[in-house]
Amino acid sequence: MTEAAGPVAKRILVTGGTGLVGNAIKKVVADGEGQPDEEWIFVSSRDADLTSAAETKALFEQHKPTHVIHLAAMVGGLFKNIRYNLDFWRRNIHINDNVLHSAYEMGVQKVVSCLSTCIFPDKTTYPIDESMIHNGPPHSSNFGYSYAKRMIDIQNRGYFEQHGCRFTAVIPTNVFGPDDNFNIEDGHVLPGLIHKVYLAKQTGSALTIWGTGKPRRQFIYSLGWVPLQWEGWGTTATLQEPSAPPQDLARLFLWVLREYDEVEPIILSVGEEEEVSIREAAEAIVEAMDFRGELVFDTSKADGQFKKTASNAKLRRYLPSFQFTPFRQAVKETCTWFTTNYANARK
């Protein structure tokens, strides 16, 4: 997908443009937040397999981007990570090296890559901040993904020191929203539980929550609000008009791309006080979907990392008045999106 609204000064290539975060950025840009001097190009694995150096180079030569938002990655929830740590490491290391090196070779002015708060040390003090990435081993459940993501920070520093490149990274907490991967076995907890509630309502069965429900997470909404007439979904969702200016992760990406000048990464997170337990997250879904059945905890399943409470103090220093959509409202919108788009949702 390419969008240009005027004389183009920036050609922005978004890798992973068909995923949860890529789709949210696409919607925000399509909804009028793209600037006249920007051309946006959203690509997926169908345009190039970024584990291949040759295909990555060809993609960059085709589009000649001046800026890159690098989202493409092998992504998954706790249980997919446990099963495929080696694949997470190898694929993501190849993807990241190919993208960053092609960006360097093509003279790209700025790259914003995407890390994750799960890359921080498991044994740590809280809250976690940007200075702590390399302090100790990540949680063992996702060491492959985490070490691969940490190496982006190493490469960014290297490209800056040796070549003066402005390659940086953001560190979001657990993301959710429309266009997520709702696959129960492979996906993250919120889309997985939304899908499970949807099925449990149909069959009149209990909702099984994996683990104890005690681990804690900070969730960030991908989108902020959903345009009522977004045609890309095939169906029009019935959702609330926003009462406040739309916010959240996609808009933070636009801000980082346009205004954040550090090579050092920045955590994109709601406040520490917004952290919820998995049980509370499940209860928000139950309420949003009006599920009346029983809740069962399958404690034979892993809990994963207990918590990764992150500080958004750095973000707040830059954007003191930035507003996040309240968690329950965002969950409600996501549940509505999933039920409305069930036929076409990734699951």
Q: Which amino acid is at 309?
A: T
* Whether the Cβ atoms of residue 177 and residue 24 lie closer than 8 Å to each other: yes
3-class SS at 232? Answer: helix
Nearer to ligand GFB, 108 or 335 (CB): 335
- Taking CB under 6 A as the criterion, which residues in 66-105 touch ligand NAP? 71-75, 95
Interface with ligand GFB (CB under 6 A), residue from 110, 217, 307, 314: 217
- Taking CB under 6 A as the criterion, which residues in 108-167 touch ligand GFB? 116, 118, 141-142, 145
Helix H or strand E segment including 189:
helix 189-203
Query: What is the spatial distance between Cα 163 and Cα 106, in angstroms, rounded to a whole number?
Result: 13
CB of residue 182 to ligand NAP, shortest distance in Å? 10
Query: What is the spatial distance between Cα 336 and Cα 246, in angstroms, rounded to a whole number?
Result: 18
218 binds ligand GFB (CB under 6 A): no
Of residues 143, 68, 148, the one with CA closest to residue 101: 68
20 binds ligand NAP (CB under 6 A): yes
The active-site residue out of 104, 145, 221, 260 is 145
Nearer to ligand NAP, 44 or 201 (CB): 44
Query: What is the spatial distance between Cα 116 and Cα 332, in angstroms, rounded to a whole number?
Result: 24
334 binds ligand GFB (CB under 6 A): no
Residue 201 CA to its chain's centroid (Å) = 28
Nearer to ligand NAP, 200 or 267 (CB): 267
Backbone angles phi, psi at 50, to 5 degrees: -75, -5
19 binds ligand NAP (CB under 6 A): yes
Interface with ligand GFB (CB under 6 A), residue from 41, 71, 74, 78: 78
Number of residues that bind ligand GFB (CB under 6 A): 26
CA–CA distances in Å: residue 323 to residues 239, 283, 327: 19, 23, 12
Residue whose C-beta lies closest to ligand NAP: 19
Q: Token digits for 327?
A: 């968690």
Q: Which residues make beta-bridge pairs with 267?
A: 171
For tokens 């708060």, name the residue: 117
16 binds ligand GFB (CB under 6 A): no
x/- track of binding to ligand NAP for residues 155-184 (CB under 6 A) = -----------------x-xx-----x---
CB of residue 28 to ligand GFB, shortest distance in Å? 21
CB of residue 344 to ligand GFB, shortest distance in Å? 21
Q: Which amino acid is at 312?
A: N
State yes or no: is 145 an active-site residue.
Answer: yes
114 binds ligand NAP (CB under 6 A): yes
Helices assigned H by DSSP within the chain:
20-28, 53-63, 78-83, 85-105, 143-163, 189-203, 249-259, 278-288, 313-318, 327-340
Q: Which positions are catalytic? A: 145
Where on the chain is the footprint of ligand GFB (CB under 6 A)? 77-79, 81, 116, 118, 141-142, 145, 174, 188-189, 192-193, 196, 209-211, 215, 217, 278, 301-305
